[in-house]
């Protein structure tokens, strides 16, 4: 990503909430894991975090908790396409992310709800707070854009078939 795609770097308030987390090796590891085909897990988390933060801030909600939990919502290290659990990835990974996030920082009840409930729709437990709903919706929007970009990439990278010459019946 270039600087134009990283507006959070120039947002002092946002960076005051998450800057120390971004320096942690546990989060830096996410930049080596492909998440939705065209982005790393860290890129995905940053997009979700920053967009959610800006929405929460505009609405007078808890922007700090939204930024932090948005950044930590996918804090897991396995490849979800390969690693399988008895329960679905949609159910398991928020709990793993929450457990991993707790090891890095103290989390509020709001941050816990944001992280654990961000997969609502694929799971049955609805978010309790407005901030949780924001991160849930933004996560789905960002994931959809990343999926669309991967389809575009695959479409553009496919082999073009040469058209067979038409047969003249005369």
Task: Please tell me the distance from the alpha carbon of residue 122 to that of residue 124, in angstroms, as a whole number.
Answer: 7
169 φ/ψ angles, rounded to the nearest 5 degrees? -85, 0
Q: What is the pLDDT of residue 45?
A: 94
pTM: 0.81
Q: Where are the domains of the chain?
A: 24-154
Compare 52 and 149 and report the one with higher pLDDT. 52
The pLDDT assigned to 145 comes to 83
Between 62 and 4, the more confident residue is 62
Average pLDDT over residues 123-146: 91
Superfamily of domain 24-154: Hypothetical protein af1432 (1.10.3210.10)
Least confident of 8-12, 73-77, 152-156: 152-156
pLDDT for residue 77? 74
pLDDT tens-place string over residues 74-120: 898 766 656 555 566 556 788 889 999 999 999 999 999 999 998 87
Per-position b or e across 88-117, b if 16+ CB within 10 A of its CB:
ebeebbbebbbebbeeeeebeebbbbbbbb
Answer yes or no: is pLDDT of 140 > 70. Answer: yes
**CA atoms in the 13 A half-sphere facing the CB of 85:** 12
Read off the pLDDT of residues 29-71 as tens digits, 9 standing for 90 and up. 988 877 666 788 899 999 999 999 999 999 999 999 999 999 9
What local confidence, expressed as pLDDT, does residue 3 receive? 38
């Amino acid at each position: 990503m270039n600087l134009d795609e990283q507006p959070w770097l120039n947002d002092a308030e946002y960076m005051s909430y998450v800057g120390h987390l971004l320096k942690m090796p546990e989060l830096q590891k996410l930049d080596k894991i492909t998440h939705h085909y065209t982005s790393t897990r860290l890129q995905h988390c940053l997009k979700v975090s920053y967009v959610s933060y800006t929405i929460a801030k505009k609405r007078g909600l808890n922007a700090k908790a939204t930024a932090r939990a948005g950044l930590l919502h996918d804090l897991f290290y396995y490849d979800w396409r390969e690693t399988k659990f008895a329960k679905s990835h949609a159910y398991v990974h928020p709990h793993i992310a929450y457990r991993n996030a707790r090891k890095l920082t103290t989390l509020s009840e709001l941050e816990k709800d944001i992280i654990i409930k961000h997969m609502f729709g694929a799971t049955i437990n609805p978010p309790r707070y407005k901030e949780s709903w924001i991160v849930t919706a933004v996560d789905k929007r960002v994931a959809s854009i990343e999926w669309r970009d991967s389809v575009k990439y695959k479409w553009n990278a496919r082999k073009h078939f040469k058209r067979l010459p038409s047969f003249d019946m005369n």
